[in-house]
Amino acid sequence: MVKRLTRHGNSLALVIDRPVLQLLKIDAETPLDIMTDGDVLLVRPLREAERAKQIKAIRNRLHKRCGKTFERLAK
């Protein structure tokens, strides 16, 4: 399938056809993970388990970096 980007304000948008959205079980509320290696663009739905894992990793990084500040703010 060949697609072209469309103008959306000052940005460009990729329109995904309904059959593809239905196949992947994606709707307007589904968070998408967008990655690139500098040559290829990969867009994939971010499922609940993956989101929870990413959120936990972010929380752990924040706790390591700012844990003492969070403790002081909680008091």
18-75: pLDDT as tens digits? 999 999 989 999 989 899 999 999 998 887 767 778 888 888 999 899 988 988 888 8
- Tokens 């967008």 label which residue? 34
- For 32: left if phi > 0, alpha if psi spans -120 to 50, otherwise beta; the answer is beta
Look at residue 50 in the predicted model and tell me its pLDDT: 76
CATH number given to 6-74? 2.10.260
Confidence of residue 14 (pLDDT cuts 50, 70, 90): very high
Mean pLDDT of 2-26: 94
Q: Where are the domains of the chain?
A: 6-74
pTM greater than 0.85:
no
